[in-house]
Amino acid sequence: MVILKLPEEIEKARASNRIVAEVLSKLKEKVKPGVTTRELDRFAEEIAEKRGAKPAFKGYRGYPYALCTSINQEVVHGMPSARVLKEGDIIGLDFGVCYRGFFGDATITLPVGKVAAGALRLMEVTEQSLYAGIAQAKEGNRLGDISAAVQMTVEAAGFSVVRDFVGHGIGKNLHEEPQIPNFGKKGRGVELKSGMILAIEPMVNQGDYKVIVLSDGWTVVTEDGKLSAHFEHSIAITEHGPEILSKLS
């Protein structure tokens, strides 16, 4: 069942997502060659705790870290470690918090130093597809309108959307209904209504859409070893259109 949020609940979600946006903004300044992903994880957790928020991912289904750090061919759920970032890498940073009973969740993919033109293009298209999906998150539209907009943007650029992992509703729980695939057909699926909060998150591969999960049980990588990028915003559907909650105003 899709849970519609009251205005005061959307305000709580707004506050939670604002913390997520602040953390990701500060992480942008930290991502550079020579930094370890464990350092980024500790930094993100410290900022959240200073704001009185609890990292949403730490302990969730046994995940041991506050931040997901997915490098190059890693699609999602990459685990922080002693791995050092190198010039030319790209890194997806997925972060969430729980603050005053409501969850926030967002993702950015960043270049590490100077990266190849193809990697830059992949990141640009992935972010563009996110905003194309958000533009369809309007009262009266269908869930498939979001999915189709993402897919069309990605495939028009020659890339592929991951099919095994999807976006989701969010609120008092990190993952709520509905699931939001990044592929689909216009006019299909759940009708979008004011009060829905959705985490829309395209995961886009440079090559084929197929992925595999590594032996750690978490890290998802592209089957063909090509690059992947990931962007996500939590948004509220309002009578005035979509509101992006997970960005700094």
Is there a cis peptide before residue 178, judged by omega within 30 degrees of 0?
Answer: yes
Q: Encode pLDDT of 167-195 as tens digits.
A: 999 999 999 999 999 999 999 999 999 99
The CATH number of whichever domain residue 138 belongs to comes to 3.90.230.10
What distances in angstroms separate CA 40 from CA 32, 45, 142, one per listed residue?
11, 9, 37
The whole-number pLDDT of residue 216 equals 96
Mean pLDDT within 121-150: 98
Give this prediction's pTM.
Answer: 0.97
Task: Answer yes or no: is 142 within a domain.
Answer: yes
Q: How far is CA 86 from the centre of its chain?
A: 23
Structural domain count of the chain: 1
- Flag whether 165 is in a domain: yes
Q: Is residue 127 part of a domain?
A: yes
Domain that holds residue 167: 7-244
The answer as to whether 2 is a domain residue is no
| Residue 180 placed within a domain | yes
Beta bridge partners of 249: none
| 249 within some domain | no
Report the length, in residues, of the chain: 249
Three-state secondary structure string covering 163-225: CCCCEEECCCCCCEEEEECCCCCCCCCCECCCCCEEEECCEEECCCCCEEECCCCCCEEECCC
